[in-house]
Each structure stands twice: as C-alpha cells, then as structure tokens.
Amino acid sequence: MPETMPNPPTAAATSVVRERIGPDAKSGHYPAPHRYQLHVSLSCPGGLRVAITHGLLELADRLPLSLLPALPDDERGHAALRDAYAATVHGFHGPALGPALVDRWTGRLVSNHVPDILADLSLRFHRPGLPRLRPFGAESAIDALTARCAQDIAEAAQLAGEAGAGEAGERALERLLDTLSELQEQLTRGPYLLGRNLTAADVELWVALVQLDTVHRWHLGADAVRRIADHPRLWAYARRLRAIPAFGDRLRLADIARRHEHCCRGLEAAGAAVQIIDWTAAPNVLTR
C-alpha cells in the first residue's frame, strides 16, 4: 500500500492558514524584498514544488528559503515553525508543518496552502527576464493540469498500488496509463506542456513523475511499472527538466526515501526493482 496511513503528524491535522500576498503596499501582505521567508522540506511533494518555483524565479536574494528536515522533529511538527504557528493560530498545539510562508516582520504565518504560495510567488514576485510560470490566459490550463497530476497520476497510482491485481486496481492503472499517454501526446506540440515556454504546469508534472518513480513504483507490479515506463517522450522530458538547476539541484532522493519509509504502511511489490529513471545520473544540458 502507498503512503495512505502516515504516522502523525499528518498534513491534514495541522491548521490551514490562507492569507495572500497582495500587489502593493496597500495590501496587508505586499511583496517587499526580504519581508518573507519560505520553509520547505524537499522530501514533500508540495515543498519540492515550492522550492523549484522559488529557484526558477531566482528569489534567493529577495525571499530566503530555509530547508526543513525530511521528517518533522516530533509530533508537534517542525521546531523552526512552532513560534510562527503559535503567533498566528489561537490556541495552537501543533503540528507545525511546511511548506510555510512566514512574515519576518511580524513573525506570523502568512500561508501554508501550497497552491496559494505557488500562485503568489509566480504573480507577486516575478521579475522581467525570468519565466512567467502563470502567463495570462494559461491559468485554467495550468489548474486543470494540476488537478490531473493529483487525481489521475498520484491518486490513481496510489489506488493501483492498494488494490493490486484486482478489478479496482486495473481501473486505476488504466486511468494512470491513459493520462500518461495523453500528456506524452501533448509534448509532441512543444518541449513543454503548454508549448515553447516552461510554466507552472511543468513543475506540477515533473514532481508528479518524480513521485511516481521514487514512491508509487514500490507498490506496483513489475508489469505495471514497465507499462508506465513505456512512455519514452514523457520520461525523456523528465530527464531534460532534471538538467535545469532549479529542478535537479532540489531533488533529494534520500529525503524522499526516508519520508516514504516513515509514512508507508504497505508491502514492497515487484515493481520496486524496475527503476524508470536513474535520477542520480548526470543529466544532459537543456537550454531553457
């Protein structure tokens, strides 16, 4: 079984804070340089997405990023975040989890909601000459792809691993394979999902593919993994993105493995022996 039954603390157990970054100084939270700090764990898919976006937008000099351990310190979450949570959520007892965007001026948590953080980074901190990760007119396509990654890749792979060779498992696997085939076909129209330019859709899909090979594969049958791997254009795309420092430099395979081992309740399946990509291999250079 995939990581459906994680040990506490779980992401669902923490308080959700969803304040937003506004466009200017009239907003309660506006994008002033050095005002905010991001806290992420690269073992977590959401944290990896945030860190990649932060790297693509070259925000290190304006919005520092702190790396959290692969696992929370204890049942109260990450010690580095407890004060911010306590200052924000009345009567907070934990767990204090990331990703988290913290206002350094007030010490309060602005948001721990990954979609909001990603959108605010892309829209409020963008500088000329850097990728427009959420270009005008592409928002609906990006949101649709985000939902597909969650439902038709991650969720379908998880269900296929849970149900095994039964009818429900086959249905979930077919849903996953159909999605991969459609996305591979989409990549015939350009080097990136939405054409010539890299967008947030590529960040979402790349992290989903990393999770598929480094986490979900361990609970699938060998034949299922071979069928997943039989999408050469899609996996070549994953290798090409791996060559971009904002992607490859933030990939922490040992941390992902540690989180998976800690959270997983299932048994290893034959697909564990069928690696799709050697993520440690030196990638070919890709020009953005």
φ and ψ of 126, to 5 deg: -70, 140
Q: How many domains does the chain have?
A: 2
- Residue 57 lies inside a defined structural domain of this protein: yes
- Residue 34 lies inside a defined structural domain of this protein: yes
Q: Can you give the pLDDT at residue 27?
A: 83
Measured CA to CA in angstroms, residue 158 lies from 40, 176, 201, 212, 227 at distances of 24, 10, 21, 9, 16
Q: Among candidates 197, 187, 188, 192, which has minimal Cα distance to 135?
A: 197
Residues 164 and 269 in one domain: yes
Q: What are the tens digits of pLDDT across the range 230-266?
A: 999 999 999 999 999 999 999 999 999 999 999 887 6
Residues 167 and 255 in one domain: yes
End position of a domain, from candidates 67, 92, 124: 124
H or E segment to which residue 66 belongs: strand 65-67
Residues in the chain: 288
d(CA 131, CA 199): 7
CB atoms within 10 A of CB 208: 25
Residues 157 and 258 in one domain: yes
- Residue 6 lies inside a defined structural domain of this protein: no
- Residue 241 lies inside a defined structural domain of this protein: yes
Reduced to 3 states, what is the DSSP secondary structure of residue 108? strand
pTM score: 0.92
Residues 190 and 111 in one domain: no
Residues 240 and 152 in one domain: yes
Per-residue pLDDT of the chain (288 residues; tens, 9 = 90+): 333 333 334 444 578 999 999 988 888 899 999 999 999 999 999 999 999 999 999 999 999 999 999 999 999 999 999 999 999 999 898 799 999 999 999 999 999 999 999 999 999 999 999 999 999 999 999 999 999 999 999 999 999 988 776 788 899 999 999 999 999 999 999 999 999 999 999 999 999 999 999 999 999 999 999 999 999 999 999 999 999 999 999 999 999 999 999 988 766 788 889 989 999 886 554 332
End position of a domain, from candidates 78, 100, 124: 124
Contact 66, 38 (CB under 8 A): yes
Q: Which domain holds residue 221?
A: 139-273
Q: Can you give the pLDDT at residue 285?
A: 41
- Residue 248 lies inside a defined structural domain of this protein: yes
Q: What are the tens digits of pLDDT across the range 164-205?
A: 767 888 999 999 999 999 999 999 999 999 999 999 999 999
Residues 108 and 194 in one domain: no
Integer-rounded Cα Rg, in Å, for the chain is 19
Contact 197, 203 (CB under 8 A): no
- Residue 63 lies inside a defined structural domain of this protein: yes
8, two tokens: 């506490």
Q: Can you give the pLDDT at residue 124?
A: 95
d(CA 184, CA 220): 21
End position of a domain, from candidates 124, 157, 183: 124
Q: What is the CATH number of the domain that holds 255?
A: 1.20.1050.10
Q: What is the CATH number of the domain that holds 85?
A: 3.40.30.10
d(CA 101, CA 110): 6
Residues 210 and 150 in one domain: yes
